[in-house]
Amino acid sequence: MSVNDKILEKIRNLLSLAEDGGNDEESQTALLMAQKLMLKYKIDQQELSETGRQEIVIKSLSVYKRIYWWEKVLVRIIAENFRVMFYIQSNRLPHQKSVQRKLVLMGYPEDVELAYEVYHLAADAMKHYASEHLKQAEDDNSASFVRKSYYQGFMDGLNDKYERQRQEMVNENDQYALVIKTPQDVVDKFKQEISGSLPFQQPELSRESAAYTDGYDRGSTISLNNKYLDQ
């Protein structure tokens, strides 16, 4: 088993702790520790290896379907924090009346695999906790708006937590500043092969709502547990 396979196996084991969405502490820990393990591994890899250009791969996050606004927000957060690029691929078969789309990741194999798994874990966790919040909502008629507000709060909180963690790691070791950014050859390949923008209509949500606040607190208070780094 290669070093890349070993680190991915460790991260998958960490992420699997929260697959059912039933353990708040483990679910929160997994999202943050995945990023921390990745950055720690990149430093170790950089110190132990002088490999040249790596293979750049793509991987779809889903089949062709309707893409929701929150999927575009979440994939951007994951891409910015896990060293990959992303784009939207469109297709329409002869029997289809409308164009179908899917999100696609681009980057080094180990980065793409990790970003893929963290994206789906984050989406599952967000949906689970939003449903828990909705059980306490008083007005069923506003369920759709409440869910959207919770989603936005969760993603904003998660993004802020990732940014704080990254800054803390850079403060501890300035070498992290070199591995946090998406590799330049991945960015160059993306610019060469992918064109177009990613416009979408994001809902207008009140950041003063209880749902947004609860979602933000959930996303931004993710706890860390260093025992996973020592396994």
Give residue-wise pLDDT tens across range 159-211: 998 999 889 888 888 888 878 888 888 998 888 888 644 455 556 666 667 88
Which pLDDT does position 26 carry in this prediction?
Answer: 63
Q: What is the tens place of the pLDDT at every residue in 145-162?
A: 889 999 999 999 999 989
Q: Which residues 6+ apart lie within 8 Å of 93 measured at CB?
A: 100
21: tokens are 């969405």
147: tokens are 């869910």
Report which of 163, 190, 156 is spatially closest to residue 70, judged by C-alpha positions.
Answer: 156
What's this model's pTM, rounded to 2 decimal places? 0.76
Distances (CA, A) of 189 to 55, 84, 122, 186: 11, 11, 27, 5
Number of C-alpha atoms within 13 angstroms, CB side, residue 209? 21
